[in-house]
Amino acid sequence: MDARQLNETAKAMVAGDKGLLAMDESTPTANKRFAAIGIPQNEETRRAYRDMIVTAPGLGDSLNGAILVDETIRQQTRAGVPFAKALEKVGIIPGIKVDAGAKPMAAHPNEKITQGLDGLRERLAEYVKLGARFAKWRAVITIGDGIPSEGCLEANALILALYAALCQEAGLVPIVEPEVLMDGDHTMERCAEVTEQTLHTVFAQLVAQRVLLEGMILKPNMVVPGLKCPRQNSNEEIADATVHCLLRTVPAAVPGVAFLSGGQSGELASARLSAMNARFKGRLPWGLAFSFARAIQEPAMTIWHGEDANVPAAQKALVHRARCNVAARRGEYSPAMEKQ
């Protein structure tokens, strides 16, 4: 493990006001999103869609990194350039999602456990050869009646830590993503409680497994009320609750926090990130960045719709959403930007 190089890469992933783009939807998830808007679901449409993203002019001005998935890291642009190389060329560090998805957890009704540790050391070595410099693993925590259970939190945290240690052994910066889901009618306060408990458990395991905190990135959820909660808090309340939770749980040695969007609209995700930075930037030990998938890609996918002719308009929408999030890192996003 080269601690200095891991730290350099981790810092580069959250440097300046840029962030990360998650373009690592698994094949079933990508197909589901395509199906919902009538795009044919096959390897070539998935490749063409990722081609549209990777070749978007100016994308490197807003992104430090992009997360690919196994299929995509083996594909090329229409011009024959491997996606990882095309990203590097415009200053975007390529990364790779390496988990095998969250599956129902035995003896834990309604809870999930993320799979993919088997053979991970060998897969990581191959991804390094294919150009990846960081990796991602997502654990899913559900809030509900009597859940999350301690068993679910402990198991997911241990697996995240084992994954992170293997990444660092291979020279890859692990993005550690414990996602507390927004599904349900729970309050923001309940989300805060569960997120705090989750992050405490995750960092305890990261330390126990000797993960270099300086060589990782945390990808958490924002502390928000459940989608069906009757009381939807203000962006400022969400900003305060989220930062408060992170201050209590995330060691100062971690170079950066890059949020997932988790199904919030693009506008809300940007506004909430902006509220956090407007209130706290410069007073926190780590940068507050973004690692959004849906909140950057959503309008672009709809505009693209599988048609070559729509590529320039889709790329414009994509770059625009990325820029909105750069503004959010500065604490300067406003909904008026959406009309520009």
Cα 250 from Cα 218, distance rounded (Å):
8
Instruction: Please report whether residue 262 would count as binding ligand 13P according to CB under 6 A.
Output: yes
68 lies in the site for ligand 13P, by CB under 6 A: no
Q: State yes or no: residue 322 binds ligand 13P (CB under 6 A).
A: no
**CA-CA distance, 79 to 54, in Å (whole number)?**
12
User: HSE on the CB side for 17, CA within 13 Å?
Assistant: 19
Contact status, residue 97 vs residue 86, Cβ threshold 8 Å: no
Restricted to residues 175-214, the positions that interact with ligand 13P (CB under 6 A) are 177
Active site residue 18: no
- Give the SS3 label for residue 267: helix
Please say if 122 is a catalytic residue: no
Binding residue (CB under 6 A) for ligand 13P from 112, 133, 272, 294: 294
Considering the complex, state which of residue 262 and residue 287 has its C-beta at the smaller distance from ligand 13P.
262
Binding of residue 288 to ligand 13P (CB under 6 A) = no
Query: Binding to ligand 13P by residue 94, rule CB under 6 A?
Result: no
Contact 216, 199 (CB under 8 A): no
Q: Name the residue nearer to ligand 13P (CB basis): 139 or 250.
A: 139
* Residue 174 is a binding residue for ligand 13P (CB under 6 A): no
CA distance 182 to 228: 9
Site membership for ligand 13P, residue 18 (CB under 6 A): no
By the rule CB under 6 A, 295 interacts with ligand 13P? yes
Does 96 sit near ligand 13P (CB under 6 A)? no
Query: Could you say which of 49, 137, 286, 292 contacts ligand 13P (CB under 6 A)?
Result: 292
- From the list 111, 177, 179, 298, the catalytic residue is 177
Which tokens sit at 5?
A: 């190089």
What is the total residue count of the chain? 340
Q: Measured between alpha carbons, how far is 263 from 256 in angstroms, rounded to an integer? A: 22
Q: Are 251 and 203 in contact (CB under 8 A)?
A: yes
The answer to whether residue 112 forms part of the interface with ligand 13P (CB under 6 A) is no
Q: Total residues contacting ligand 13P (rule CB under 6 A)?
A: 10
Which of residues 14, 22, 160, 314 is near ligand 13P by CB under 6 A?
22
Residues in contact with 282: Cβ distance below 8 Å, sequence separation at least 6, in sequence order: none
